[in-house]
Amino acid sequence: MLVKKATAELYADYKARMQQIADVRYSIAVLSWDQETYLPEKGARFRGQQITTLSTMAHELFTAEVLGSLLHELSSRSDMDAGKQKNIALSLEDYEKNKKYPAAFVAEMSQTTSAAYHAWIKARKLNSYEVFEPFLNRMVQLKRQETELLGYEGHPYNALLNEYEKGATTTMLDQVFADVRSSLSPLLARIAAQPIPDKQFLHKHYDKDKQWQLGIQLLKEMGYDMAAGRQDISEHPFTTSFSPEDVRVTTRIDENDFGNMTWSCIHEGGHALYEQGLPAEEYGLPLGEAASLGIHESQSRLWENNVGRSLAYWQHHYPALQALFPENLANIPLQDFYRAINLVQPSLIRTEADELTYHFHVMIRYEIEKGLIDGSIGTDVLRETWNQYYQQYLHVTPPDDIQGVLQDIHWSHGSFGYFPTYSLGSFYAAQFYAAAQKQVPGLDNDIASGVYTNLLNWLREHIHPYGRFYTSNELCEKVTGEPLQFAHFLKYAEEKFK
């Protein structure tokens, strides 16, 4: 009987079981990383089968009655430190949630995800939403079913939001995006009334190999440990982690768009630094996982925007960049370069949007996802709905599906509820960076000198080591003294773009 064993022995059993589950899940992650980087075209069918098999195994291990009994017993013990108690509480919460998923549903979701991903790739090659629509429709049906399995209060979308940002609701996000519309729209109008900076030099020819070398250099300078990671090329940039000692990033390169690779490297580098900063001794346990997708996104957006698009950052890097691409940049002053990389202008592609209009891209996806889940929007009219939203909020209309409804990979992965974390992450990032500027003496001078160790050390101390011990808002309050406040982002934006 479990009750006859000492707590330490029970906890060691729990840890071993959780790490076994993590081993299976990270094996899936390796296969998924390979699927998006090196998998040959004919490998898709069996790769989907392999991932489905492992997903079913992981689900069976995590919903086994013996694990449930172990968690319930440990949750009744009081002779553990706060970290172990939190691990047990969070694992029990995850266990009870996963018990709601029938094995058949897990298998079908895995099969559908693999098929949808490859359909999305094919649809992009053919520039045809019709190729992807049947797969997306099935995915939406499964996500609706998932909301019923999980249960929810209020809008069914809340069940999916909670998977990425614990405690987030449509009520909360409706207010967040109301702030975006009411506060950012006037700022955008003021910016639109000013002369438009010239950015044509950013779209000259930039050699692929030189861009690649630059991206690797920027990642290393940030503190990304290349002995514990690597960078590759993929259709959509992403970060994946198999442990804090193996965290990989991807980028994409457009030889006629300097910004495409540069900021995807810095963005994904921010994600990777967070994963590399999680405690390795908590591998497989909740305290070894990121606090939330919103906090994860705060790390990428902090590096990408607060650091990587700052004047101070390029005061250090621009001379070397001019030397790397003299034919394009030798005669472009730093201030002109800085204005160009921060050009605020409505655009079609979310990942290439400026940091103000970006949140309208996210808002559009949020509104669409709510409609898909509650049934008010069908996948058969999704292209038309997408285009209408873009015309309404950004005054642009996609000329084709690649620049419109097919631009994001998320729905092929079944990641409904993910998009809002991008905006939340930007707002957390502004608040965290404002706190860092107060707490790290000379931080702006560090950035201007190409020194990032003090900032990374601050993040390592205040954000990275806690795993899931705190919810997003609890962590924000611990770090900054207050819960998330949109006012910090607005102040940052007004000061930068005034």
Measured distance CA(363)–CA(280) in Å, rounded: 36
Average pLDDT across the chain, whole number: 95
User: Taking the mean position of all CA atoms in its chain, how far away is CA 186?
Assistant: 28
Position 45 scores a pLDDT of: 86
Mean pLDDT of 199-221: 97
**Could you tell me if 404 and 394 are in contact, meaning their C-beta atoms sit under 8 angstroms apart?**
no
Query: With bands split at pLDDT 50, 70 and 90, how would you rate the model's confidence at 378?
Result: very high
Task: Quote the tokens at residue 311.
Answer: 């004047």
Helix (H, G, I), strand (E, B) or coil at 283: coil
Position 236 scores a pLDDT of: 83
Tell me the residue length of the chain.
498
> DSSP assignment of 14-73, as one string?
HHHHHHHHHHHHHHHHHHHHHHHHT--GGGHHHHHHHHHHHHHHHHHHHT-HHHHHHHHH
Give the Cα-Cα-Cα angle 70, 28, 467 (nearest 5 degrees). 55
Q: Residue 418 to residues 157, 160, 166, 238, 430: CA-CA distances in angstroms?
A: 11, 8, 12, 14, 20
Contact residues for 296 (Cβ-Cβ < 8 A; gap 6+): 271, 274, 290, 421, 425
Measured distance CA(231)–CA(242) in Å, rounded: 14
Per residue in 137-149, pLDDT (tens digit) is 999 999 999 999 9
Q: Give me the residue spans of the domains in the chain.
A: 2-152, 153-498
Task: Quote the tokens at residue 225.
Answer: 């440990």
Query: With bands split at pLDDT 50, 70 and 90, how would you rate the model's confidence at 235?
Result: confident
Position 317 scores a pLDDT of: 97
User: Taking the mean position of all CA atoms in its chain, how far away is CA 469?
Assistant: 19
Q: Residue 224 to residues 37, 78, 441, 469: CA-CA distances in angstroms?
A: 20, 39, 23, 24
Per residue in 79-93, pLDDT (tens digit) is 999 999 999 999 999
Measured distance CA(130)–CA(376) in Å, rounded: 20
Of 133, 146, 165, 268, which is the active-site residue? 268
Position 393 scores a pLDDT of: 94
Q: Worst-scoring range by mean pLDDT, 46-50, 445-449, 466-470? A: 46-50
Position 351 scores a pLDDT of: 84
Q: What percent of the chain has pLDDT over 90?
A: 95
Measured distance CA(22)–CA(159) in Å, rounded: 24
Per residue in 424-438, pLDDT (tens digit) is 999 999 999 999 999
Q: What percent of the chain has pLDDT over 70?
A: 99
* CA dihedral (436, 440, 445, 449) positive or negative: negative
Residue 492 reports pLDDT greater than 60: yes
Measured distance CA(243)–CA(117) in Å, rounded: 24
Per residue in 28-79, pLDDT (tens digit) is 999 999 999 999 989 988 998 999 999 999 999 999 999 999 999 999 999 9
Is residue 268 annotated as a catalytic residue, yes or no? yes
Query: Domain 153-498 maps to which CATH number in 2.60.40.10, 1.10.1200.10, 3.40.50.300, 1.10.1370.30?
Result: 1.10.1370.30
**Could you tell me if 270 and 302 are in contact, meaning their C-beta atoms sit under 8 angstroms apart?**
yes
Mean pLDDT of 108-126: 95
Residue 204 reports pLDDT greater than 80: yes
Helix (H, G, I), strand (E, B) or coil at 257: strand
Per residue in 265-315, pLDDT (tens digit) is 999 999 999 999 999 999 999 999 999 999 999 999 999 999 999 999 999
Contact residues for 105 (Cβ-Cβ < 8 A; gap 6+): 142, 145, 146, 149
Phi/psi at 189 (5° precision): -65, -40
Position 23 scores a pLDDT of: 98
Residue 115 reports pLDDT greater than 80: yes
Contact residues for 375 (Cβ-Cβ < 8 A; gap 6+): 144
Contact residues for 457 (Cβ-Cβ < 8 A; gap 6+): none
Per residue in 316-342, pLDDT (tens digit) is 999 999 999 999 999 999 999 999 999
**Could you tell me if 435 and 427 are in contact, meaning their C-beta atoms sit under 8 angstroms apart?**
no
Which candidate, 1, 18, 480, 479, places its Cα nearest to that of 286?
18
- Across-strand partners of 250? 232
Position 127 scores a pLDDT of: 98
Measured distance CA(465)–CA(27) in Å, rounded: 24
Measured distance CA(333)–CA(192) in Å, rounded: 23
* CA dihedral (452, 454, 457, 463) positive or negative: negative
Which candidate, 362, 351, 353, 352, places its Cα nearest to that of 427?
362
Helix (H, G, I), strand (E, B) or coil at 299: helix
Residue 1 reports pLDDT greater than 80: no
Measured distance CA(340)–CA(126) in Å, rounded: 32
Position 307 scores a pLDDT of: 98
Residue 4 reports pLDDT greater than 80: no
Pair type for strands 229-233 and 239-243: unpaired
Mean pLDDT of 150-166: 95
- The per-residue b/e assignment along 455-484, b for 16 or more CB within 10 angstroms, e otherwise, is bbebbbebbbebbbbbbbbebbeebbeeeb
Position 130 scores a pLDDT of: 98
For the chain, count helices (H), then strands (E). Answer: 23, 3
**Could you tell me if 254 and 261 are in contact, meaning their C-beta atoms sit under 8 angstroms apart?**
yes
Measured distance CA(232)–CA(190) in Å, rounded: 40
What class, spelled out in words, does domain 2-152 have in CATH? mainly alpha
